[in-house]
Amino acid sequence: MTKAPNSYAVIDIGSNSVRMVIFDLENTPPLKLFNEKIFCGLGRDLDKTQKLHPEGVKTALKTIQAFVLLAEAMKISKLSAVATAAVREAKDSKKFIDQIYKRTHVRVRTLSGDEEARYAALGVLSLDKKATGVVGDFGGGSLELATLSPKGVKETASYPLGAFRLMHAKKNAQKILTQDLKNLPESFCDQPALYVIGGSWRALIQVYLITKGQKTSRLQGFQIDPATLQKFCAKLITQKPNQIRKAYNIEQRRADLLPVAALALQETLVHLRPRKVIVSTAGLRDGVIAEYLTS
């Protein structure tokens, strides 16, 4: 087992998946020694039950316990666990967090929507010091937005517009998106760029690159015209998940989320009106590390 003495592990407990990234802090930017996620679906029925999904909880607990054991075996110097929308909103989140502590002795920090947006933006800046515009982080439970410049993060906003919510809304999904996004502060609009992060939006861009016969491994910094991306989103919205899986050879769970991810991105582009779209491979984990290194 590789020993990582000057390292930091971040466990991100999301609405859709649980991910752990271990960063080697000796490098600038920090090198990712380990980066793995497990789909748990904690927030898949949250709208209906106001509780975390029972099977998702079981999978998440096993995953977190395994991640902590691995981090301990690698002798990492610091570990943090953060939770986002599903845990933030569920009625039984305290019980879940208590179970995590009982099994691992790790205390989970539940982020507010604004904190989640801020960490996402800090993550983008950690990979692109000149980033200027607005960051959009689309997850299973929420959509976070943050304006940023090379000087740092400016404004933040969080909306309950995650993939699971939109899937449950079905035909009303577009109406819900429009109602929420039309109230966006003007400062988020007409920015130089929209930096897209989040697994579903990055998967959408990968699918676009597949249609163009381009490499999908070079996502960081990839730029695309908003009108071109909107047109592609409109195409994905009309396709069934099984069609998407077969056409683009992606895993079923990702294919299931792509139509609503496309709808969310299309509406976000309509309301934000960015001059270009840039993909960032950063996440809030990178933001947590960036804050630690500058504190």
Domain shared by 52 and 175, yes or no: no
CB atoms within 10 A of CB 155: 16
Domain shared by 131 and 207, yes or no: yes
At 105-146, the pLDDT tens digits run 999 999 999 999 999 999 999 999 999 999 999 999 999 999
Domain shared by 170 and 257, yes or no: yes
At 208-222, the pLDDT tens digits run 999 998 887 789 999
pLDDT given at position 201: 97
Mean pLDDT within 3-22: 91
Domain shared by 163 and 73, yes or no: no
pTM for this entry: 0.95
For residue 2, being part of any structural domain is answered with: no
For residue 270, being part of any structural domain is answered with: yes
Contact 136, 145 (CB under 8 A): yes
Domain shared by 170 and 73, yes or no: no
Domain shared by 98 and 154, yes or no: no
The pLDDT of residue 100 is above 80? yes
Q: What tokens does 28 get?
A: 């600038």
Q: Of 110, 141, 164, which residue is a domain's last?
A: 110
Mean pLDDT within 77-88: 97
The span from the CA of 165 to the CA of 44, in Å, is 8
pLDDT given at position 78: 96
pLDDT given at position 263: 98
For residue 294, being part of any structural domain is answered with: no
**CATH number assigned to the domain comprising residue 70:** 3.30.420.40
The pLDDT of residue 5 is above 90? no
Radius of gyration of the chain (CA): 18
Cα 219 to Cα 17, 19, 291, distances in angstroms = 21, 19, 24
The pLDDT of residue 1 is above 70? no
pLDDT given at position 4: 58
Domain shared by 146 and 207, yes or no: yes
pLDDT given at position 218: 84
Q: What tokens does 284 get?
A: 């809030």
Domain shared by 95 and 198, yes or no: no
For residue 115, being part of any structural domain is answered with: no
Mean pLDDT within 136-161: 97
For residue 122, being part of any structural domain is answered with: no
Q: Return the percentage of the chain with pLDDT > 90, whole number.
A: 92
For residue 152, being part of any structural domain is answered with: yes
For residue 137, being part of any structural domain is answered with: yes
pLDDT given at position 121: 98
Domain shared by 172 and 263, yes or no: yes
> What is the three-state SS of the chain?
CCCCCCEEEEEEECCCEEEEEEEECCCCCCEEEEEEEEECCCCCCHHHHCCCCHHHHHHHHHHHHHHHHHHHHCCCCEEEEEECHHHHHCCCHHHHHHHHHHHHCCCEEECCHHHHHHHHHHHHHHHCCCCCEEEEEECCCCEEEEEEECCEEEEEEEECCCHHHHHHHHHHHHHHHHHHHCCCCHHHCCCCCEEEECHHHHHHHHHHHHHCCCCCCCCCCCEECHHHHHHHHHHHHCCCHHHHHHHHCCCHHHHHHHHHHHHHHHHHHHHHCCCCEEECCCCHHHHHHHHHHHC
Mean pLDDT within 37-44: 96
Q: How many domains does the chain have?
A: 2
At 251-285, the pLDDT tens digits run 898 899 999 999 999 999 999 999 999 999 999 99
pLDDT given at position 143: 97
Domain shared by 51 and 175, yes or no: no
For residue 89, being part of any structural domain is answered with: yes
The span from the CA of 35 to the CA of 11, in Å, is 10
**CATH number assigned to the domain comprising residue 228:** 3.30.420.150
The pLDDT of residue 14 is above 90? yes
Q: Is 270 exposed, middle or buried (0-12, 13-18, 19+ CB in 10 A)?
A: middle
Domain shared by 86 and 210, yes or no: no
Quote the domain boundaries for residue 228. 127-279
Q: What does the mean pLDDT of the chain come to?
A: 95
pLDDT given at position 3: 54
The pLDDT of residue 2 is above 60? no
pLDDT given at position 295: 86
Domain shared by 90 and 174, yes or no: no
